[in-house]
Amino acid sequence: MPTELSEQQTPSFEQFANRDESGNIFRWASDFLLMLWYSELKEQKKLIDKTIKALLNLEIDLYDNLQKTESGGRIDYKMSRYACYLMAMNGNPNIRQVALAQDYFAQQTRKTELLSQDPDRLAIRNEISEGNKTLSKTVARHGVFDYGRFNVAGYEGMYNMTNQDLAERRNINKEKLLEYMGRTELAANLFRITQTEERIKNQNLHGQAQLEDAHRQVGKEVRAFVQINTGDTPENLKIEMPLNEMKRELKDARKALTDNEAPTDSI
């Protein structure tokens, strides 16, 4: 397997097309990854895992888009055009061939705004939902009777304001705050949730007041961490395309990314 491909050596996307026994068109992940200049096995695996996660979070049939195969101890994946699109979206746009692939797919879908979005947002948002469920059960066992007040305490620590105040500042419905957050802010909130639960259990805290204080303190610590690493406070982080809209448009993009008609453009 080559460790590096020059731009002159790299075939076009359409040249990678194969047909299975039923006549369905697919691309081998190994071919497409090298086309994107991902030659290191570790980085290839990370990009494949991200593509699988994106398909699952979009609730799109995995088998129809990315089939794992194994032959002679070698693992590869048969990928649909749409799976290749998601893989390109998850790639590093600082790599020239990834940027060319993203531009190619943008021309096919006419949804260039999606390429500035991070599909990982969907995965982190799902983790937050699960984390909140677990946290609510934990705090209930430890004596919290007003979960709303407990939740607000975390926002006060992290944002120096309540979730209602943050929603008004951003002109967003309070219940939809998470849907507009970017990857960094979502990850920070996930960290706030998981670390609050760990502190409650490890310090064996009990009662509404103690748990609110713990949530507020963890929020303050996450706030400081965000400021150190981004140079800005959490409330000033950029809001993104709402996740439900992003999810809908990603699904709609499938219609334009079929192999029924071979595009004339190529990368």
Q: Mark which of 115, 133, 162 sits at the end of a domain.
A: 115
**Does residue 174 sit in the same domain as residue 236?**
yes
Phi, psi of 217 (to 5 degrees): -65, -45
Full-model pTM: 0.76
Q: What angle do CA 60, 38, 74 make, to 5 degrees?
A: 75
**What is the pLDDT, as a whole number, of residue 9?**
44
For the chain, the distance separating the N- and C-terminal CA atoms, rounded to the nearest angstrom, is 21
Our count of domains for the chain comes to 2
Domain-embedded: residue 148: yes
Average pLDDT along the chain, 267 residues, taken 10 residues at a time? 42 78 89 92 94 91 92 90 92 90 81 72 94 97 97 98 97 96 96 98 97 98 97 96 89 75 47
**Does residue 99 sit in the same domain as residue 134?**
no
**Does residue 62 sit in the same domain as residue 165?**
no
Distance, in Å, from the CA atom of 150 to the CA atom of 134, rounded to the nearest integer, reads 14
**What is the pLDDT, as a whole number, of residue 215?**
98
Q: How many CB atoms are closer than 10 A to CB 67? A: 16
Q: Hunting for tokens 């004596």 — which residue is that?
A: 143
Domain-embedded: residue 5: no
Q: Would you say 119 and 54 are in contact if contact means Cβ atoms under 8 Å apart?
A: yes
Which residue range is the domain that position 39 belongs to? 13-115
Q: What is the DSSP string of the chain?
A: --S---TTTPPPGGGG-EE-TT--EEEEHHHHHHHTT--SHHHHHHHHHHHHHHHHHTT--HHHHEEEEEETTEEEEEE-HHHHHHHHHHS-TTSHHHHHHHHHHHHHHS-GGGGGS-THHHHHHHHHHHHHHHHHHHHHHTT-S-HHHHHHHHHHHHHSS-HHHHHHHHT--GGGGGGGB-HHHHHHHHHHHHHHHHHHHHTT--SHHHHHHHHHHHHHHHHHHHHHHHSS-GGGSPB-S-HHHHHHHHHHHHHHS-SSS--S---
**What is the pLDDT, as a whole number, of residue 203?**
97
Q: Which residues of 241-250 are buried (b: 16+ CB within 10 A; e: fewer)?
A: bebeebbeeb
**Does residue 129 sit in the same domain as residue 190?**
yes
Domain-embedded: residue 81: yes
**Does residue 97 sit in the same domain as residue 205?**
no
Distance, in Å, from the CA atom of 151 to the CA atom of 164, rounded to the nearest integer, reads 11
**Does residue 97 sit in the same domain as residue 137?**
no
**What is the pLDDT, as a whole number, of residue 258?**
72
Distance, in Å, from the CA atom of 47 to the CA atom of 86, rounded to the nearest integer, reads 10
